[in-house]
């Protein structure tokens, strides 16, 4: 085995940082209180730089069970960005007590490590380990909240999550039993014969169930509203961005390896249809903003599935593009939620708490407006361009009904996004105290603002990158 | 490289928008001035464009083409021919007057002008682009700021109207979106370029029928085609003055323009197949809009329903599928744009002064404010098709074409003009003549500064009414080319 550490840079960095943070738990809280957050920002920046540096590396590790290519490295970069954003959001998370800050960052790091390993895994066992590492960290993260709703999210999350893992393992065992191997590439070689076996389809479906669970797509969506609502907001942001990106990555990888048999496309199409409809319809009546964003993420999972089930290079590359767009626009929305929650000193802001945000902080409400419109797919923002290419890939394969339904759903979704906007711009605030943004938040907001607009208008470079990533993985 | 005049028209409001965003909100006059300068630049450039335009050439002129997203066949490409040159001119006239009329806005000035410029850059984009991706992009850019304009600065049931308008228009655009992507996915397609689609894709008659229906429904919502017009009167009434001017004046024309530019251009057989249906629907527009307008008490609702009725004339012109009908439709789009802008500019002034638009509560205003009354009456006379006004020629062309193609529908549409005359004249009579309502003692006539935008609109209406051949000359070569005759 030719082990080259340079291929493993982002993961190694994450490991080292986790070890350091782990030792930090030994110190008294007061001594590290001041240095912890700046140190974490430093770690996140180094991690992002490391991921960016290693973006063109390629090769395999650990007896061909771990593949480093443009696809995996691209997603690792997206994950490191999502991690950086979450760290920047966590200067003073209101519902995570001072005593638990170190653990909070430790589990953020370990979860990021798990997700980075997910996107590179090309072996069923490795994939399972990586998934569990990231999931268990997320279960713990969602339990860290310190007010009245401490463990609610975590208990729900862990029960549903464990069930999903079980189903996935069952699916893996069926696939392994039929093909006699756990390596995705070996399985890919046998696809022409395997595809004829109905039980293979069942295995694939069971395995996909767990990935849908991570993506919060129907029928594995039910955890999302509760967990989003009762986890601390920065944790919700992490689940909504990083975890979703990892889920898209693994779906792309699995679909590319296994192909998407016609029957499977039909089933996925139905799931996407229900996901979109259910997510958007239920979101219409939500009052809790985090819960609303959870239902919107269920709907978004449907859009992503519509693109991925096209099974073409365009579909996968646009899925890649949309994953990045999704991280950016969700982060923008959550930044506003976090700041409103901080001003309110309560971690579950309702829509009515956004009243008069435009007067309290014009810039923040503009960012919220852009992020929500981008989620709804309004040009010239990145969500629009992402949706355009996702849907054109699906249309190319003749899924005109899903596309039409998807666009109509976007219109429905605009209703609840605009409701928040209306509250921010139109209603009179009960609390007129302006929300002061500190320097970091200002820069961060401006960066998100520019990214949303710039990537929406000039997406060519990134689309080309995504296409290269898909073709470089050499599976199509 | 030649001077990119079209991109300059498009970029002037965009740059103005960023300049406004960077200006601190306390410098309100500076913000207004930036808006005015941006609008003035577009106006000057569009007038220049009209002089440079070669009306004898049916091909696209002033073509600008930049590769944008190569793998999806998306180019940033702008061009002008007879179909859109008048629309660009109309947009720049209306935005220039709109900025002047909104000089009196004092609430959140910065946000208002930013939204106006954003909206108008979307409108310019739709009118000049020849790529479906950018067509859709600009189309939605034109719709979204309208929501904010109505919801923040509007009146009368504004939240309901704004949400209704936005959802209706975006539902229409959802159909467009699916239609565009479907054309992209056809064999030979894989491009969003209009010309390339026309050349490379052979649309079979069945596909043309279905696609044309989808696109027509999509565009028809914005063109206020019966029965999808219900958003438009509510939206016009609720919007602030300048937004109503832009909306009824320009935005509704995007729908009719889209039908011609995209649906008829790419799917001529589909258009012929559905033309009789469109004719019937447009007759509903004309008659139903006029009938409802007779029953309204609110001046803005009268204008809103008269817009529905007048857009019916545009659609009827398109439905004839003849060069004369198309010329009439485009001329009607242009003169109706100017006319409604003038209507709303007058009603806006009256509402600001009297705080009511109800006919019962107005009355005898011409004694107190002769100038604004004159402007309103001119718009009204134009609305009922008085010779010498732009819309007279337009309606004449459409009815000539309609009577020869669909005799019964054509004749009914002529009779409907009588209803128009009735509601316009009775509104004028109630609001401006009769006993003066002494609640409005403090109401003053417009000052010279506010006189200018309304005078520009009247000037254009009369100019093109007296010299219609200038206008017809611009468009007739292109409409013949569009029909392939």
Q: In which element (H, E) is residue B63 found?
A: strand B61-69
For residue A408, the chain B residue with the least C-alpha distance is B174
Domain carrying residue B321: 5-483
A404–chain B Cβ distance below 8 A for any pair: yes
pLDDT tens for the 485 residues of chain B, in order: 578 888 999 999 999 999 998 888 888 889 999 999 999 999 999 999 988 888 888 888 888 888 888 888 888 989 998 888 999 999 999 999 999 988 888 888 888 899 999 999 999 999 999 999 999 999 988 888 888 888 888 887 888 888 888 889 888 988 999 899 888 888 888 888 888 888 888 888 888 999 999 999 999 998 888 888 888 888 888 888 888 888 888 888 999 999 999 999 999 999 999 999 999 999 999 999 999 999 988 888 999 999 999 999 999 999 999 999 999 999 999 999 999 999 999 888 888 888 888 888 887 888 888 888 889 999 988 888 888 888 888 999 999 999 998 999 999 988 888 899 899 998 888 888 888 877 877 788 888 888 889 999 999 988 988 888 888 888 888 888 888 87
DSSP assignments along A292-351, one per residue: HHHHHHHHHHHHHHHHHTT-SHHHHHHHHHHHHHHHHHHHHHHHHHHHHHHHHT-S--BG
Between residues 48 and 107 of chain A, which touch chain B (CB distance below 8 Å)? Answer: none
A454–chain B Cβ distance below 8 A for any pair: no
**Comparing C-alpha atoms, which of A472, A435, A215, A457 is closest to residue A343?**
A435
- Token couple for A112: 């990021």
SS3 B298: strand
Residues 6+ apart with CB under 8 A from A142: A153, A154, A157, A227, A230, A231, A232, A235, A239
Which of A358, A387, A392 best tests the B interface by mutation, with the highest count of B CBs <10 A?
A: A392
For residue B139, the chain A residue with the least C-alpha distance is A379
Pick from B70, B148, B182: which is nearest to A460 by CB?
B70
Q: Chain B: give the shortest CA distance to residue A287, in Å.
A: 18
For residue B180, the chain A residue with the least C-alpha distance is A392
Which ipTM was obtained for this model?
0.86
Kindly state the average pLDDT of the residues A136-148.
83
Residues of A in contact with B75 (CB under 8 A): none
**Comparing C-alpha atoms, which of A306, A413, A1, A358 is closest to residue B181?**
A306
Taking phi over 0 as left and psi of -120 to 50 as alpha, with beta for the rest, A66 belongs to beta
- Token couple for B484: 């392939």
A199–chain B Cβ distance below 8 A for any pair: no
Task: Please answer yes or no on whether A373 and B185 come within 8 Å at the CB atom.
Answer: no
Q: Chain A: give the shortest CA distance to residue B69, in Å.
A: 5
- Distance from first CA to last CA of chain B, Å, rounded? 34
Q: Chain B: give the shortest CA distance to residue A50, in Å.
A: 29
Residues of A in contact with B166 (CB under 8 A): 414, 418
Q: Chain A: give the shortest CA distance to residue B8, in Å.
A: 18
d(CA B307, CA B289): 8
Q: Chain B: give the shortest CA distance to residue A475, in Å.
A: 20
Is pLDDT of A1 > 50?
no
pLDDT at A149: 67
pLDDT at A198: 84
d(CA A151, CA A117): 27
pLDDT at B1: 58
Q: Chain B: give the shortest CA distance to residue A246, in Å.
A: 26
pLDDT at B417: 86
Is pLDDT of A372 > 80?
yes
Query: By percentage, how much of chain A surpasses pLDDT 70?
Result: 98
Residues of B in contact with A426 (CB under 8 A): 151-152, 159
A453–chain B Cβ distance below 8 A for any pair: no
d(CA B352, CA B447): 14
pTM of the shown model: 0.90
Rounded to 10 deg, the angle between the A101-120 and A244-258 helix axes is 20
Between β-strands B74-80 and B61-69, what pairing exists: parallel, antiparallel or unpaired? Answer: antiparallel
- Token couple for B332: 């009607």
**Comparing C-alpha atoms, which of B134, B58, B285, B183 is closest to residue A403?**
B183
What is the torsion angle, in degrees rounded to the nearest 10, for the CA atoms of residue B445, residue B450, residue B451 and residue B457? Answer: -130
Question: Are B178 and A407 contacting, i.e. CB atoms less than 8 angstroms apart?
Answer: yes
Pick from B69, B138, B185: which is nearest to A396 by CB?
B185
Residues of B in contact with A384 (CB under 8 A): 137, 140
Question: Are B53 and B80 contacting, i.e. CB atoms less than 8 angstroms apart?
Answer: yes
Q: In which element (H, E) is residue A68 found?
A: strand A66-68
- The model's pLDDT over A265-292, given as tens digits with 9 standing for 90+, comes to 888 899 999 999 999 999 999 888 999 9
Buried b (16+ CB within 10 A) or exposed e, B56-78: eebebbbebeeebbeebbbbbbb
**Comparing C-alpha atoms, which of A71, A67, A74, A69 is closest to residue A52?**
A74
Pick from B136, B140, B151: which is nearest to A422 by CB?
B151
Pick from A388, A395, A414: which is nearest to B170 by CB?
A414
Taking phi over 0 as left and psi of -120 to 50 as alpha, with beta for the rest, A377 belongs to left
pLDDT at A148: 65
Is pLDDT of A476 > 60?
no
DSSP single-letter state for residue B129? B
For residue A398, the chain B residue with the least C-alpha distance is B185
SS3 B54: coil
Residues of A in contact with B114 (CB under 8 A): none
Structural domain count, chain B: 1
**Comparing C-alpha atoms, which of A242, A305, A312 is closest to residue A84?**
A242
Pick from B133, B167, B181: which is nearest to A414 by CB?
B167
- Token couple for A220: 């594995």
**Comparing C-alpha atoms, which of A173, A72, A166, A164 is closest to residue A117?**
A72
- The model's pLDDT over A208-253, given as tens digits with 9 standing for 90+, comes to 888 899 888 888 888 888 888 888 888 999 999 999 999 999 999 8
Question: Are B195 and B129 contacting, i.e. CB atoms less than 8 angstroms apart?
Answer: no
Pick from B25, B71, B167: which is nearest to A411 by CB?
B167
Mean pLDDT of chain A: 87
Question: Are A76 and A50 contacting, i.e. CB atoms less than 8 angstroms apart?
Answer: no
Residues 6+ apart with CB under 8 A from B469: none
Task: Please answer yes or no on whether B144 and A378 come within 8 Å at the CB atom.
Answer: yes
Q: CB-based burial of residue B51 (10 Å sphere; 0-12 exposed, 13-18 middle, 19+ buried)?
A: exposed
For residue A376, the chain B residue with the least C-alpha distance is B170
Question: Are A250 and A319 contacting, i.e. CB atoms less than 8 angstroms apart?
Answer: no
Task: Please answer yes or no on whether A380 and B141 come within 8 Å at the CB atom.
Answer: yes
**Comparing C-alpha atoms, which of B261, B352, B177, B42 is closest to residue A385?**
B177
**Comparing C-alpha atoms, which of A355, A265, A342 is closest to residue A307?**
A265
A380–chain B Cβ distance below 8 A for any pair: yes
pLDDT at A475: 59
Backbone angles phi, psi at B66, to 5 degrees: -130, 130
Residues of A in contact with B72 (CB under 8 A): 389, 392, 463
- The model's pLDDT over A146-193, given as tens digits with 9 standing for 90+, comes to 776 667 778 888 888 999 999 999 999 998 888 888 888 888 888 878
């Amino acid at each position: 085995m030719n082990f080259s550490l340079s291929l493993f840079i982002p993961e190694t960095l994450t490991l080292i940082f986790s070890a350091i943070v782990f030792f930090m738990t030994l110190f008294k809280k007061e001594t590290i209180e001041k240095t912890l957050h700046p140190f974490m920002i430093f770690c996140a920046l180094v991690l992002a730089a490391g991921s960016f540096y290693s973006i063109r590396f390629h090769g395999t590790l650990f007896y061909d069970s771990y593949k480093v290519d443009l696809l995996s490295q691209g997603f690792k970069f997206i994950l490191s960005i999502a991690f950086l954003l979450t760290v920047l959001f966590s200067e003073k998370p209101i519902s995570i007590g001072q005593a638990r800050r170190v653990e909070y960052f430790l589990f953020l790091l370990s979860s990021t490590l798990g997700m980075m390993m997910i996107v590179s895994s090309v072996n069923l066992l490795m994939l399972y380990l990586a998934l569990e590492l990231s999931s268990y960290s997320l279960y713990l993260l969602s339990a860290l909240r310190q007010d009245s709703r401490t463990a609610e999210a975590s208990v729900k999350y862990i029960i549903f999550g464990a069930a999903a893992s079980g189903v996935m393992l069952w699916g893996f065992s069926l696939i392994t039993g039929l093909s006699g191997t756990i390596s995705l590439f070996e399985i890919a070689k046998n696809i022409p014969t395997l595809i004829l076996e109905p039980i293979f389809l069942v295995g694939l479906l069971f395995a996909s169930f767990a990935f849908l669970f991570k993506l919060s797509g129907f029928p594995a969506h039910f955890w999302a509203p509760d967990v989003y609502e009762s986890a601390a907001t920065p944790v919700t942001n992490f689940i909504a961005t990083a975890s979703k990106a990892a889920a898209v990555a693994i779906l792309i990888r699995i679909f590319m390896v296994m192909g998407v048999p016609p029957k499977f496309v039909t089933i996925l199409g139905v799931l996407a249809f229900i996901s979109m409809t259910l997510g958007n319809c239920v979101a219409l009546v939500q009052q809790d903003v985090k819960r609303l964003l959870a239902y919107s993420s269920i709907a978004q999972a449907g859009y992503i599935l519509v693109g991925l089930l096209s099974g073409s290079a365009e579909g996968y590359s646009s899925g890649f593009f949309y994953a990045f767009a999704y991280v950016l626009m969700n982060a923008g929305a959550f930044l506003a939620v976090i700041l409103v929650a901080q001003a309110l000193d309560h971690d579950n802001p309702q829509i009515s708490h956004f009243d008069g945000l435009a007067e309290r902080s014009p810039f923040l409400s503009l960012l919220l407006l852009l992020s929500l419109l981008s989620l709804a797919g309004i040009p010239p923002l990145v969500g629009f361009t992402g949706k355009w290419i996702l849907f054109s890939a699906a249309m190319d394969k003749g899924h005109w009904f899903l596309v039409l339904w998807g666009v109509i759903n976007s219109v429905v979704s605009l209703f609840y996004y605009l409701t928040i906007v209306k509250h921010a711009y139109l209603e009179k605030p009960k609390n007129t105290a302006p929300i002061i943004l500190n320097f970091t938040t200002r820069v961060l907001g401006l960066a998100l603002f520019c990214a949303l607009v710039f990537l929406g208008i000039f997406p060519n470079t990134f689309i080309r990158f995504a296409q290269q990533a898909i073709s470089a993985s050499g599976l199509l | 490289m030649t001077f990119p005049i079209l991109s300059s028209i498009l970029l002037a409001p965009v740059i103005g928008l960023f300049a406004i965003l960077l200006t601190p909100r306390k410098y309100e006059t500076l913000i207004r001035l930036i808006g005015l300068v941006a609008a003035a630049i577009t106006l000057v450039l569009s007038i220049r464009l009209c002089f440079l335009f070669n009306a004898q050439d049916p091909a696209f002129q002033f073509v600008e083409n930049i590769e944008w997203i190569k793998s999806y066949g998306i180019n940033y490409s702008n061009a002008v021919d007879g179909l859109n040159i008048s629309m660009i001119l109309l947009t720049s006239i209306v935005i220039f007057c709109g900025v002047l009329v909104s000089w009196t806005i004092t609430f959140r000035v910065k946000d208002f002008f930013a939204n106006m410029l954003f909206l108008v850059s979307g409108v310019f984009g739709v009118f000049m682009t020849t790529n479906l991706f950018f067509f859709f992009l600009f189309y939605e850019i034109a719709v979204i700021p309208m929501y904010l304009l109505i919801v923040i600065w509007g009146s009368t049931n504004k939240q309901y109207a704004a949400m209704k308008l936005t959802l209706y228009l975006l539902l229409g655009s959802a159909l467009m979106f699916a239609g565009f992507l479907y054309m992209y996915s056809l064999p030979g397609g894989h491009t969003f370029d209009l010309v390339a689609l026309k050349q490379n894709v052979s649309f079979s008659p069945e596909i043309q029928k279905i696609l044309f229906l989808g696109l027509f429904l999509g565009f028809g919502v914005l063109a206020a085609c019966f029965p999808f017009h219900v958003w438009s009167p509510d939206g016009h009434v609720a919007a602030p003055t300048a937004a109503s001017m832009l909306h009824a004046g320009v935005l509704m024309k995007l729908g009719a323009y889209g039908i011609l530019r995209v649906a008829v251009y790419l799917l001529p057989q589909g258009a012929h197949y559905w033309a009789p249906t469109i004719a019937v629907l447009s007759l509903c527009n004309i008659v139903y809009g006029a009938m409802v307008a007779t029953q309204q008490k609110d001046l803005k609702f009268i204008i809103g329903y008269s817009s529905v009725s007048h857009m019916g004339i545009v659609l009827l012109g398109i439905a004839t599928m003849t060069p004369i009908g198309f010329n009439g439709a485009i001329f009607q789009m242009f003169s109706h744009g100017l006319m409604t802008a003038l209507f709303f500019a007058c009603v806006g002034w009256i509402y600001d002064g009297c705080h009511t638009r109800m006919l019962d509560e107005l009355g005898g205003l011409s004694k107190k404010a002769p100038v604004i009354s004159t402007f309103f009456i001119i718009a009204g006379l134009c609305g009922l098709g008085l010779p010498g006004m732009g819309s007279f020629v337009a309606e004449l062309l459409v009815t000539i074409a309609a009577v020869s193609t669909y005799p019964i529908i054509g004749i009914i549409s002529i009779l409907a003009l009588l209803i128009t005359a009735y509601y316009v004249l009775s509104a004028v009579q109630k609001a401006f003549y009769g006993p003066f309502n002494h609640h409005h003692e403090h109401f003053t006539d417009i000052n010279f500064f506010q006189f200018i935008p309304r005078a520009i609109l009247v000037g254009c209406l009369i100019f093109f009414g007296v010299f219609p051949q200038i206008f017809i000359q611009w468009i007739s070569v292109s409409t013949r080319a569009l029909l392939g005759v």
